[in-house]
Amino acid sequence: MTRRKTAKKKTRSAERIRILDKVMDVRFCNVSGQKFFYGAYRVKIGSSAQDFLLFYPVPYKQLRQPVILRLNSACLTGDLFGGDKRCDCRWQLDFAKEYISREKNGIILYALGEDGMGNGVVVKLKAYRIMDERNVGVKKAFQIARAVPEQRQYHAEAEILKDLGFSKVRLLTNNPHKIRGLEREGIDVVERIPIIAKRRGLKKYLHWKKDDFGHML
């Protein structure tokens, strides 16, 4: 685990961000018998609205600050139909679920509209085809597809955390972009918890992420 000094909070204008609707503490039990809670937010971002799903192990008012947090973008190719061997999304999500469930403290904030690093699933699939056909890395493939490789901002995620009463987090991530994004929005990332890969066959993909995006692997 990597301890971090508390960053100075930077304020932002909240004019573009508005919470439209929310629900919390909906009980669920999965097929393995694991009990947990779901929540959901709909947030207006500029002129559009985006939905977020929250996964957590106890009623949210029992969560402790600094709360463990995983920012997880939707990955349809990784999360559905048995998963995709080319990306690391599924095992990162599984790692976060296991970690948070074991600690009985934490939230997975699942952004439903941020597939393909915010570019959408169509652009992501175009980039995947380019990666296969030209043997290029993730960043280069998105650029060839005429897309910005990393579109994600974290204005809405920070607004949700503040609405829940959390200003300090222990962030489950290897991605420095997520740390910077939250801190720009006034959320203190007091600790980075590395996500450890246990799955084989991802060496080349992870190498690209390290070189292209500075992931801490």
pLDDT tens digits, 148-200:
877 788 999 999 999 999 999 999 999 899 999 999 999 999 999 998 766 55
Predicted confidence (pLDDT) at residue 35 exceeds the cutoff of 80:
yes
pLDDT band at 209 (very low <50, low <70, confident <90, very high): low
- Which residues in 173-196 are b (16+ Cβ under 10 Å) and which e? bbbebbbebbbbbbbbbbbbbebe
Predicted confidence (pLDDT) at residue 14 exceeds the cutoff of 70:
no
pLDDT given for residue 204 in this prediction: 58
Q: What is the CA radius of gyration of the chain?
A: 17
Query: Mean of the pLDDT values across residues 90-96?
Result: 88
Q: Is the four-CA dihedral 180, 155, 187, 70 of positive or negative sign?
A: negative
* Domains recognised in the chain with CATH numbers: 2-114+157-213 (3.40.50.10990), 118-151 (no CATH)
Predicted confidence (pLDDT) at residue 68 exceeds the cutoff of 70:
yes
Range of weakest confidence among 68-72, 142-146, 211-215? 211-215
Query: Mean of the pLDDT values across residues 67-75?
Result: 95
